[in-house]
Structure 1
């Protein structure tokens, strides 16, 4: 997890300090592990701040910050946002000698529009975003659904989302150019755009009125546009994390 990039989003979102400082605010710390679909790359641990701040005009949720363009009530909102994506391939992280001869695929920040609709039947979200650093020149769209289940101090939030990566997005992170193929001995690969789903579960427990413990787990299923790449040796990715935060 790139803490520097998270800091960039934090700085941008806090540029109008008065509105955000009046927000509903929670701060904490989270640690966890992410598996990698890349050949020869082991799971990686991370530690990062947990931040949740929401005001009339601005918001910040750890890796995503933005502006409420339209929010007539707590049930519906349209946001302009910037979001950090930690998808990355570092050649030296792989223990496969051919993979170590490929180019670095960098993480990036994406900007776009998002819609959130909260009802008694759950929370629905949709977004579309573009790579503002132009590493991939690609774009991503997502739709998701989550249903909070509260039992006393414990809240369980199962979720399901589907993400679409554009052709350029998949090509940057999973394609292999002819030059890389010649250098590494891996077959060249031209990726197409495609859909893949993620299921998740979040558990939040109020230790006290202000202290909250949180557990998160996600399982992502990759489609053939990704798994057919010679760079990839897994058709899924797992993510798990635990954290604690204080609600002011």
Structure 2
């Protein structure tokens, strides 16, 4: 589900505490972008493993085509795109008649040069057959014992992916007797600003706190099932590195 004041799975991906492996749990409080859909609290696992070429870092699994260095990396793999919506979570009787917006599995290629990472991902699960292109930047700053990581991400998603999340088909509109109008969502862009803080409680146990705000293009507000175009995400967790 796309969230306000929440945690998206993608927020877990960049954190590995500079270790070969990590294990932890992340807690979040969340609200939905969708109309008349309440808040949700949940806990999610943080799992990662990094080998010489192969790596697993929830929510993605990948392989480095070039040896990974501090200066650059080139990888391909599969990722779980957690953006979804279950209409049954809405208090609106008409929205509950709509189809589920299921999460998807994306094949991706990513290239990092210093603090800048580019990524291109294509749906391979048949949920929407769409793609997104993304560029992001983040750099760790040491503040006393804290490692502070500010970041910015721009993502473009094509109309197939956007329509899966924000569109309403004619058949869905008919189910509501036309109360919710049919709507074809165009391609959408969004910008995410964020900061994470990592604090070592012991040599191998780290506290992680984070906040991110995502601003979708105003076009998203034309969708009859969306009530806001801003998503604020907050998280807190404990991660064991080994």
Give yes or no for TM over 0.5.
yes
Alignment partner for residue 96 of structure 2, among 88, 91, 100?
A: 100
1:46 aligned counterpart, secondary structure = strand
- 1:239 aligns to 2:237 (yes or no): no
Alignment partner for residue 47 of structure 2, among 43, 51, 54?
A: 51
Structure 2 equivalent of residue 216 of structure 1:
210
Asked whether the 8 Å contact 2:188–2:216 carries over to 1, the reply is no
2:125 aligned counterpart, secondary structure = coil
Q: Is the helix fraction higher in 1 or 2?
A: 1
Distance in 2 of aligned mates of 1:197 and 1:226: 13
C-alpha distance after superposition, 1:31-77 (max 9, x if no partner): 11233211111222221211232111111222111000113623211
Asked whether the 8 Å contact 1:142–1:163 carries over to 2, the reply is yes
- Structure 1 runs not aligned, ≥5 long: 7-22
Distance in 1 of aligned mates of 2:87 and 2:168: 13
Question: Relative to structure 1, is the Cα distance of residues 72 and 38 closer, same or farther in structure 2, using a 3 angstrom cutoff?
Answer: closer
- 1:165 aligns to 2:161 (yes or no): no
Give the length in aligned residue pairs.
224
- 1:136 aligns to 2:128 (yes or no): yes
TM-score by length of 2: 0.88
Alignment partner for residue 153 of structure 1, among 145, 148, 156?
A: 145
- 1:112 aligns to 2:111 (yes or no): no
Asked whether the 8 Å contact 2:55–2:63 carries over to 1, the reply is yes
1:225 aligned counterpart, secondary structure = helix
Distance in 1 of aligned mates of 2:91 and 2:144: 47
- 1:38 aligns to 2:34 (yes or no): yes
Structure 2 equivalent of residue 63 of structure 1:
59
TM-score by length of 1: 0.86
Q: List, as ranges, runs of 4+ consecutive aligned residues in structure 1 with deviation greater than 4 Å.
A: none
